[in-house]
Structure 1
Amino acid sequence: MKNLKYKILFTVDSDYLPHFATALYSLFLNNISLHFEIVLFTAKISESDKFKINKICLKYDAILNIIVLDEKHFEGLIISKHFKVSNYFRLYAADFIDGDKCLYLDSDVIINGSIKNLYEQDIQNFYLAAVEDPAYNNHKELGLKPNAKYFNSGVMLLNLKKLRDNRIRDKVLNFVKTKSNVIKYVDQCGLNAVINGDWLELNAEYNCQSYMLLKSNFSNYFKSIRPVIIHYTGSSKPWQFSNIHPFKYKYWYYRVKVIIFYVVNRELI
């Protein structure tokens, strides 16, 4: 399976590069047998930072493809203190990534195991595969069908062909612009509204969100199931001193490895 390229998409602002590098390192260390093509959408990145990120990719025989998007194309869209223009970049996955499938990951994640089974999910009949977001229920305002669940967009296995063929990007951007009064989580709300239940639900282990660890049913679940992807959702992040996330140590385990890697190679990020 080494010859099969697993396409992974990240989007990042310059201030999130250290956390992206940490997520990337955790992905590689826990998936040594897989061959990756890493696609990075960003609005601005220095040649120095490109070089540093590519060093990690070269170490693990991964291909790096950096695509710089013009922020002018996103004028008029909702942003906030917690959400930025870069949140909308992932909507362009089907425009810039070849093939039928890719895995999108937020930069505030740690990959804690193999993503092979996740990536190889059959999503031919769905727009994407994701994990439900139990922290938010806005069905009525977004116009969701009664049986449609609301997913978290921080981890999404994307059916690029179906998204492309049905012009989902344009529909989501239009929804966000015209229904701004019902939008709370920017493109995530837009995606849920447009896709409206036409997605494959994944087990919670593939997107262990911070809120889940406060709920008894999920916290009991993760006592017996090791999360494959830890997603540090919310405004409190593990690199902040006040953060008390139970998996904070996981972030710092890989962050330190990245620091050591760059020190050894006489680079800093």
Structure 2
Amino acid sequence: MEPDNQTSSSEFIILGLSEKPEQETLLFALFLCMYVVTVVGNLLIILAISTDSHLHTPMYFFLANLSLVDFCVATDTVPKMLVSIQIKSKSISYSCCLSQMYFFHFFGIMDSVLIAMMSYDRFVAVCHALHYTSIMSPRLCGLLVGGPWVFSGFISLTHILLMAHLVFCGNIELLLCTDTSVNKIFVFIVAGMVIAMPFICILASYVPSAEGRRKTFSTCSSHLSVVALLYMTTIEEKASAVMYTAVTPMLNPFIYSLRNRDLKRALRNLMRKKIISSS
């Protein structure tokens, strides 16, 4: 942060991933490639699902929304990181920091809740196959996706409003000059709602019975891979930030497309149409 005894809206200094200038070129190339793969992969999945009528089902409806959220998560942070590396500037304005934090929490909450919704969809498909169509109606799917968007926006906005009331001070290190007990309690409650509860629901959906477990694990291995990837990236602070904002959104399209026959067929048809139309 810029020199001030007490600040209301100056700038923050981004520490970055490395303090060695010679590594910045490598980091720029690495994250640029990862971001391009993330954008292309997730947008292709969205296009394939929206253009193929065979994929207009609840499972792929949730997957399209997950791809949209993954695209937004990466876009919220990676471009700013690339610009900072390229122009050798590590500063970020206070307002920009709050905006980026809002969207990071917004799409982060959406990611966690959407994966829980996908586990419920697979649970119904495996354990209540005969009633799947009537249970997973378009109305319910809309509520399962639309509800989290509203909930995520409300929680993220509340968090940012609480952050905006904090007062920062210090010349070299960033310090808080106000009481943060309310913020800590809020974060603890939100973490329970958007991390612990969805994780418990996901686990519960995979252990209905011995036969159900066998069928579920055989048909939902792609979803389980994404679940493991999401929750494993919440272990360490800096490592999890990189994994969650760059690596996970990049790998999700590969996990679903490489292990899903219908999606691979839709992607091939999409590419074939593009080739034919261009020629």
Going by fraction, where is helix more abundant, 1 or 2? 2
Q: Which structure's relative contact order is higher, taking Cα pairs within 8 Å and 6+ residues apart?
A: 2
- Bigger Rg, structure 1 or 2: 2
Q: TM-score, normalised by structure 1?
A: 0.34
**Larger strand share, 1 or 2:** 1
